[in-house]
Structure 1
Amino acid sequence: MAGMEAVPQELLRRAYERKPLHLLKIPLHFALWGAATWVLYATRDHAFAIPIGLLIGFFIANLIRGLGAIAHDAVHGNCARSKRLSYLIALVCWAPSGMSVTLYRNYHLHHHRITNSYPDVDNFVVTDYTRNPLLAKILLLVVYSFAYPIYFATQMSRYVKRLSAWQRVQMVLELVGWWAIIATAFYLLPLQVFVFFYGVPFLFGAALASLTSMIEHYEMLPHDDDAYSSRTYGTSAHFFNFLWNNVSYHNEHHKYPGIPFYNLRSFHEAAYPYYEERVKAECYPGVLAIAFHLYGRILKLDVTKLDARYQGLNKDAERSRLMALNGIQPGVTA
């Protein structure tokens, strides 16, 4: 059987089971963030305050990434049966990213519908910006090293247009609410503490988002079977996956978006022997090895071949057609 179709139904049944106890990761992550902030405050006059701050800032960036993974699960309806509770979980956990969860929800569920197609935001088509071979390589390296959030933000206007009037109000309220909290923190905290509490983590977070976005979807092609739509990575990076709440099991998530974050690792380990070899080939134990491999492929980019991928495609018509589709519904199990 192709893809992941040979995975026994019993494994899937267990993977879909909800275990609300795991949602205690939410207060744990915020508590760790608070403890990290206390360390920043206590060491602000230390001789090694800046190195300590950088390490703490990187740690906080990973905590925020982990909270975002739980928000992502709530958007899929995997954290609670109640729509209101799902929204509140998503709001609390996604807010640290600095983006509206209402806007993110519209984009992300649609991304699952059109994965790797031309208008998919996660499919960065560099030839839309330049066909110069050298500039194309530089732009790809920039986007997939630290600037992916900038590119991402420029694409969100198309999803704002998809929101209803109330959803747009909700989007603004979410943004104003979070940035008011950050403004308060800026006012109350010593500047040095604030920089490492949120400023540095924001920059590290941008780099993490850029790196992992490349790993998940760069050069992956559209396919009717989501078993082939993305890569799983970092399966041996247990500490980071604890902080990231298993977001790196990306192939499993795309194939079975209804599996809660806390079951993804155990499902992967149990189901892996049943995967087709082609799927196994896109599962990686680490993060940096596959990242550097993909950076190497960027350096070998053939613009002519990339152009050929979209040869004859009416890009405007394709974008209009696919942007008119609804995203997948929360609670979809496969």
Structure 2
Amino acid sequence: MIFKHSKKDAILVMICLTNVGLILYFAKQFATFSFSEAFVAGLFLVGFYCTNYQCVSHNFIHNNFFKNKSLNTLFSIINSMAMGLPQTLYYHHHMNHHRFTNGEKDISSLFKYSGENQEREEGILSYSFIGFFRIDLLALAKRAKKPQDKRLLIMETLGVLLLWGLLISINWKFFLVFYLPVWYLGQVAALMENYFEHYGTKPGNRETDSVSCYGKIYNLLWFNNGYHQEHHFAPTVHWTKITEVRKKLPDESQRRIVKFAHFTNIPH
């Protein structure tokens, strides 16, 4: 078996490949799209971007899919093309999030831009729609200090630029009026999901700093992403086994849990 942890990771690999394939297909067909068709295609891709960040890229960060190092490198490059952003940058961004979950040093903290006292979370709209522009991508790139990490970052960046060049050559209007806006909304959706995953919790306790939800359909479709407190408590546990961590956490009356899916964790 080529997979390091579970053959079920093949589903995540297929999502990545489908993501890239759809982008190229939509680029070729864009000239024939009606407004409504382009709108539906855009929503579809936004969903793919969010799923990639929360499930594909996220799980790959914590548990590389393949036994073979070269396959992991290849996947990292292809998934960078799917995300429109080097996987290595997201790796360092996400590792910062795990180390300082919602604290002062967390780049993605809900409290960071909430005001002088930082006692309440920032509003969900400003957090989601402005959040990407607050990220210092150059600073994240500088965290790739090992020679092999620098090489990987360069290859990932070249992969993204190659895709962009290909899209422009196919249909530059597609790139400007469809791809870039949809890509941006994908970042917004991913940030919004992160907001839902931590709203209503306080940093500083690995057992209560995140939100969990145990809806069966949500966790089936999103690879047990609902077990988010469990994930922050034991981040190296594979997504197929994360449900087992639930019993190690405090009583559910002492944690923030929402029904069905994270998006029901509506700010009030």
The sequence identity of aligned pairs, in percent, is: 18
Normalization by structure 1: what TM-score?
0.63
CA shift, 1:35, in A, is: 5.3
Match of 2:227 in 1: 249
Match of 1:10 in 2: none
**Change in 2 beyond 3 A, CA 1:94/1:143:** farther
How many residues end up aligned between the 2 structures? Answer: 262
Please say if 1:206 is aligned against 2:191: no
Give the counterpart letter for 1:27 in structure 2.
M
Match of 2:256 in 1: 281
Match of 2:211 in 1: 231
Task: Select which of 143, 147, 164 maps to 2:130.
Answer: 147
Match of 1:61 in 2: 46
* CA distance in structure 2 between the aligned counterparts of 1:43 and 1:93, rounded to whole angstroms: 23
Match of 1:160 in 2: 141
* CA distance in structure 2 between the aligned counterparts of 1:280 and 1:87, rounded to whole angstroms: 38
CA shift digits 1:106-126 (9 cap, x unpaired): 332243222222111121444
Q: Name stretches of at least 5 consecutive residues in structure 2 with no aligned partner.
A: none
Q: Name stretches of at least 5 consecutive residues in structure 1 with no aligned partner.
A: 1-16, 297-334
Secondary structure of 2:75's counterpart equals helix
* CA distance in structure 1 between the aligned counterparts of 2:127 and 2:49, rounded to whole angstroms: 19
Task: Select which of 1, 6, 13 maps to 1:26.
Answer: 13
Secondary structure of 1:232's counterpart equals strand
Normalization by structure 2: what TM-score?
0.76
Give the counterpart letter for 1:74 in structure 2.
F
Please say if 1:258 is aligned against 2:236: yes
CA contact (8 A) 1:227 1:279 kept: no
CA contact (8 A) 2:102 2:111 kept: no
CA shift, 1:212, in A, is: 0.9
**Change in 2 beyond 3 A, CA 1:288/1:113:** closer
CA shift digits 1:280-313 (9 cap, x unpaired): 53243134431xx31x2xxxxxxxxxxxxxxxxx
Match of 1:305 in 2: none
CA contact (8 A) 1:232 1:250 kept: yes
Match of 1:102 in 2: 88
CA shift, 1:21, in A, is: 4.0
Match of 2:98 in 1: 112
Match of 1:311 in 2: none
**Change in 2 beyond 3 A, CA 1:281/1:120:** closer
CA shift digits 1:150-196 (9 cap, x unpaired): 22x23x44433433163345424422321221121121136348744
**Greater Rg over alpha carbons, structure:** 1
**Change in 2 beyond 3 A, CA 1:100/1:273:** closer
Secondary structure of 1:228's counterpart equals coil
* CA distance in structure 2 between the aligned counterparts of 1:18 and 1:83, rounded to whole angstroms: 14
CA shift, 1:70, in A, is: 2.0
Greater relative CO, 1 or 2 (CA 8 Å, sep 6+)? 1
Pairwise CA RMSD of aligned residues? 3.7
